[in-house]
Amino acid sequence: MSKPSEWPAKMLAVIKTGNTAAAIAQIKVAPSVKELRQLQAAIEKAQLKGRWRELDMAIEENMALLAAPRLHRSP
pLDDT digits (tens, 9 = 90+) for 18-52: 999 999 999 999 888 999 999 999 999 999 999 99
Is residue 70 pLDDT above 80, yes or no?
A: no
Higher pLDDT, 70 or 3: 3
Q: What pLDDT was estimated at residue 74?
A: 61
By three-state DSSP, how is residue 47 classified?
Answer: coil
By three-state DSSP, how is residue 63 classified?
Answer: helix
Is residue 3 pLDDT above 80, yes or no?
A: no
Percent of the chain residues past pLDDT 90, beyond the cut: 69
Please, what is the Cα angle at 54 between 56 and 13, to 5 degrees? Answer: 65
